Structure 1
């Protein structure tokens, strides 16, 4: 067994020597860590070469240095240490008093783990470590030692504190007069304070345990409520009040929604009637919209709180010129105009049988989102591409500023025209451009184009989910683009994020109508959305027109 730590004091109590073992080789602590003989040799050699002394700390607190270790020696048992308390400081004097009282009775080392290896019976053996400091601690260890690890950043390594053999101290005979009742009284007062502090910590631990128990009970209740999907409200119910209430509303109407859930829906009531759909339903609806008509992905969607979206537009850039040192500078200012995008209303209704609504096995919200997305995609996709702007968004093909390159034929496309229209755009738009065309006639024709070497211009995507490319730029299939026919524009290319803007006024809302189709056993759902769209930067895109 390792030698116990010794504390020796001079008769005047002005200094104290501490000696013992800071590390015991191959003793596995309860956390499964042990030190191998020689694991600290390199660190000890560095300490001796530098001439520095390892600090003696109080409980690993770098702000409380209570002495220094004069001698560090690795022998067959472990790391033998000898040091001296600095009793001129308050912490050093306090440490001396605690050592005499027996309340400071342990050693602990701080080190950085540099290398270790697994043990055959479990745990790990540290094979190389850097010694940082050795502390006196209040909690003694048992013969097997105890360990506590404080992990730092990967660059700093892991700081581990190992409590070694219990501290014992033997005071030298004291010839002074103050060796009797005075010391006993001081010791009793210190012990009383320690007991009082321990009792206070126990009360705080009990209070914390009670709070943790209350939190666990609340979490259990929340989990139980969220798990009751479909009880009384069908499969459309969700974990949050708004989604759950919306599911009940779709299946059974507003009269079936509980009062507290109706308040959640009232917070999202559309002023024109109906309820704004929850976030989850809107996300699924938009996802399906994009899958059918990708204009919302290609273009910029901007929310607005008014009937129109007003955007600034630079109509004339400032001019620059070289001037002599004393030459006259001419005035040059940009001209800024406005682009106004009117917001229009789109409305859709769909009829669903009452039997389907009563069937809890059907995910009603998902089915309704699929039905609405198909129709909204058809409606807005046509408007964003070729709408006339009267009661609906104006499509980019219908804008008077939209420019085209003549195909040279009313019925045939050529690879040369693709190259021409691509390089007719400025570099900032060309380098971010996207090809758009329908997949029924145009895309199949373009994929057959070859260069002079016989290689196809089309390149398949390198990974799933990404579009193919033509001349290095992505191709997006837009079902609403015209077919190849005389006077039509079957292909457009450019930076649609800059060129076209979609204004979204109000989120999607749904109103349930139980009466209009009641005689047929149907429930009608009215859905409405308000949005607009227009070409705001015509220079960013161009098309190929089927003209001679």
Structure 2
């Protein structure tokens, strides 16, 4: 009698329309990348034969490169769209919302403040501030935070800490506790205590002001959490993304590009080490791979395990053309929708606010950003409903407090485009 296999057959999760579209977009991206590499190979061949490339070939490479950038951004948008939770209705509806969420929904839709005020009085939670407005429910705050982590490039790789105070103070050891080797019967000399210093990360107010029509607010099918997250995510992500890189620390986080830099050979705590590319405003001829290898190995092994390259799209476009000594491209396309491209085996994070390649610029950063940069979120997102300033629209003045700064100066290095 034949043996019957009672094991359940392997099943695959059904693909959504967004995932099918994202996969198709990734396939088109792979085809465009192959065309780009063929055109770039032709360009390099012309340079080897005639010391310069045909202008038509240069224009073709740039055109395909721009199309690749646009296709990559389209894939990212499709992946983000697929990550958003669908509206749930009928029997598939999620558990009943919390009292705070129900009260907040009534406030957003109709301006009913009484239920939120009763919750404040009952819980003594400080839902109302001196400047007016109410704290959003935890569900809405989590939704906004999740969306920011998905689309804010630096937040997605940095360490993120939520605090209830206005300033996070983090101690660190300037010199570790003294240690030494002793014999079994030898006297143990007293060791000195470590010298401690303190890093301070104040949080600053970030705001957005989405507008809605009364018709939208009256529509019971509209998920207020998802709508508010949609409206503020791009504004918050753009503002904090720029600050995490180039912020001066005045009413905004301090960006990692604004800290002092020094050649890696003379590095000391308080500054970020740099490695020279070998040529002003470019890579050294025939030595692009060497400069990137020097940058990678300027980082200690413990940091390299979780390291990423950070650069803007124009720098990534230049890096995409580079080859190693064996003719292999250093830049590799993502293998799945939502994945990251890689450079020399390390993921590439595209941050539009990074500097372009110019003489003396630090256009490429490489490091373990979860140990290098700290993002500090103060607990609570506040919304003030304003139906008067822009009639017939209703404005929602939405604020959150965010800080940031470098917490470990040895965890990342910059590539300095200089000789």
Q: Same fold (TM over 0.5)?
A: yes
> Whole-Å Cα distance in 1 between the matches of residues 352 and 128 of structure 2?
32
Paired residue for 2:245?
385
CA contact (8 A) 1:293 1:479 kept: no
Distance 1:249 1:416, change over 3 A: same
> Whole-Å Cα distance in 2 between the matches of residues 359 and 532 of structure 1?
36
Paired residue for 1:164?
none
SS where residue 356 of structure 1 aligns?
A: helix
* Equivalences for residues 428-447 of structure 1 within 5 A: 428-439=302-313, 441-447=314-320
SS where residue 410 of structure 2 aligns?
A: helix
> Whole-Å Cα distance in 2 between the matches of residues 375 and 295 of structure 1?
15
CA contact (8 A) 2:177 2:191 kept: no
Paired residue for 1:402?
272
CA contact (8 A) 2:120 2:128 kept: no
User: If each structure's strand is expressed as a fraction of its own residues, which one has the higher value?
Assistant: 1
* Equivalences for residues 314-329 of structure 1 within 5 A: 314-318=173-177
Select 1:346's aligned residue among 206, 212, 221: 206
* Equivalences for residues 169-248 of structure 1 within 5 A: 239-248=97-106
Select 1:525's aligned residue among 389, 396, 406: 396
2:414 is equivalent to residue 543 of structure 1: yes
CA contact (8 A) 1:245 1:265 kept: no
Deviation at 1:344, TM superposition (A): 1.3
> Whole-Å Cα distance in 1 between the matches of residues 124 and 389 of structure 2?
24
2:125 is equivalent to residue 271 of structure 1: no
> Whole-Å Cα distance in 1 between the matches of residues 166 and 96 of structure 2?
33
CA contact (8 A) 1:323 1:329 kept: no
2:205 is equivalent to residue 334 of structure 1: no
2:121 is equivalent to residue 251 of structure 1: no
> Whole-Å Cα distance in 1 between the matches of residues 196 and 125 of structure 2?
40
Paired residue for 1:427?
301
2:330 is equivalent to residue 457 of structure 1: yes
Which sections of structure 1, spanning at least 5 residues, go unmatched? 1-116, 118-225, 230-234
Q: Deviations 1:187-220 (Å, cap 9, x if unpaired)? A: xxxxxxxxxxxxxxxxxxxxxxxxxxxxxxxxxx
SS where residue 466 of structure 1 aligns?
A: coil
> Whole-Å Cα distance in 2 between the matches of residues 260 and 270 of structure 1?
11
> Whole-Å Cα distance in 1 between the matches of residues 179 and 121 of structure 2?
61
Deviation at 1:419, TM superposition (A): 0.9
2:291 is equivalent to residue 417 of structure 1: yes
Paired residue for 2:217?
357
* CA RMSD between the two structures: 3.4
Distance 1:260 1:323, change over 3 A: closer
> Whole-Å Cα distance in 1 between the matches of residues 216 and 346 of structure 2?
46
Distance 1:241 1:314, change over 3 A: same
User: If each structure's helix is expressed as a fraction of its own residues, which one has the higher value?
Assistant: 2
Shifted more, 427-436 versus 268-277: the winner is 268-277
Q: Deviations 1:318-366 (Å, cap 9, x if unpaired)? A: 4555667869958454322111111211122233233333344544442
Q: Deviations 1:402-421 (Å, cap 9, x if unpaired)? A: 22222233321322221111
> Whole-Å Cα distance in 2 between the matches of residues 302 and 259 of structure 1?
29
Count of aligned positions: 318
Select 1:487's aligned residue among 360, 371, 383: 360
* Equivalences for residues 130-149 of structure 1 within 5 A: none
CA contact (8 A) 2:143 2:225 kept: no
SS where residue 428 of structure 1 aligns?
A: helix
Distance 1:537 1:301, change over 3 A: same
Q: Deviations 1:1-49 (Å, cap 9, x if unpaired)? A: xxxxxxxxxxxxxxxxxxxxxxxxxxxxxxxxxxxxxxxxxxxxxxxxx
